[in-house]
Structure formats: C-alpha cells, structure tokens
Amino acid sequence: MVLLQCIRFRVLTYHCLPVPVIVQALAKYKGVLSIRIVLTESATHFLAGQSPEQPTVLSLLHLPNVDAVYRDQDEWGPQPWKRGANILHIELRRWADLMVVAPLSANTLAKAMWRHPITEKQMRVLEQDWGVKEDVHIAGRTRAIMGWFEVLKPISKTLACGDTGGAMASVDTICEAIEQRLELNDALEAKTMEDEEQRRAQALANE
C-alpha cells in the first residue's frame, strides 16, 4: 500500500511487486509528492532483491520521494502502548491524501469493503479507520464503487502463475489515476513557478 501526500500531496501504498515501479514512475514530482510504503508480511517475501523489480525492503527507502517504509511490527512498536501515545495507523490516516493498494485481490477487496476482521494487520486497521475525506485507489478485479473508493479495472495478460487474464492495471494507468486525483501536474507547475520566483528574489538580494 502506498500513502501519498502532496506536500502538497501524501500517498500511502500497500503491497509489493508494483510498488518500486510505481514510485519510480512518480519520481518527477520531487518536492511535490511525499510517499510512505506499508508492507504486509506476505509482501516482504517478494522483496528480497530477487530482481530489479523486487529490491530489498530496506532499499525502498532510497526510492524517489519515499519518506518511510512500515511493516506490521511497526504498528505498536517494541514498548507497551501508553495512553496518549501515537497509534501508527491513525497517524498515517491523518497524514495521507490518498491511499493506493496495488495489486489487490478480489478476496482482500471483499474483506476491506466489509471491514472483515481477518485482513492482514496493518492494512486492516488502516482501512477500518480511513476517513472518507481521503481517497483510496486500488488496482483489483471489480469496477468503481463510491466516489472516494476507486477501483481500476483489471486487464488481460499472462500472470506470474502462467494463467491468462485478471491482471492488475498497468503502471501507467495507476500513475495516471494518481496524477489526476491529486492534480500533480498543476502542483508541479506551481512549485516550479515558486522556485523561479525565489531564485529571482535571491538574485536581486545578491545584487
């Protein structure tokens, strides 16, 4: 799952294989986009440096615009929780402007939609407390539902298991949805203009 903040925008992302590719595709929004990655325990098995698309979990911190990577054990930390202390999934929900879950199985989607108690830990608690003011984008196997919960339709191609059909939407499609929902191009243009104004002001001050 990816949580995005548009520093201007914040994005939270869940799951594994497409995450590095999606994050790299959003690299041009430096200074505009802030990303936090939340990995389920299952996802970590796919991120051990097997290939360029499957880097190690630690290396995710070096991807463009990534501020943090969280795993299930980070939810409460090593010490017993005390009243008044921060709760990670609540803090992430407050922080993010958009949550992206990719890939998402129909099984997990059903659990998420009905707030089923057996979804994976970190993802479940985030979904349960997610506010409707923030958006959720998922790449799964159903059509759009609710304005704040958008499902990108699957495509047909050969899957990793060898079967054909029911594949996650392309990275380009996912990134386009993120860009449109957060209006990232407008934010990048505004930041470019601000940077230029600051450079001009600094140049005048140095004269």
Looking at residue 119, its pLDDT comes to 44
Distance between CA 173 and CA 82 in Å, rounded? 43
Q: Where are the domains of the chain?
A: 7-103
pTM of the model: 0.71
Q: State the catalytic residue, choosing from 6, 16, 161, 175.
A: 161
Alpha helices (runs of H) in 27-170, residue ranges in sequence order: 41-44, 88-95, 106-113, 121-129
In this model, does residue 122 exceed pLDDT 70?
no
The 10s digit of each residue's pLDDT in 137-172 is 555 433 344 455 677 777 777 766 677 777 778 888
In this model, does residue 129 exceed pLDDT 70?
no
Query: Does domain 7-103 match CATH 3.40.350.10?
Result: no
Looking at residue 8, its pLDDT comes to 42
**Any catalytic annotation for residue 161?**
yes
What are the Cα distances from residue 44, in Å, to 39, 56, 114?
A: 7, 8, 25
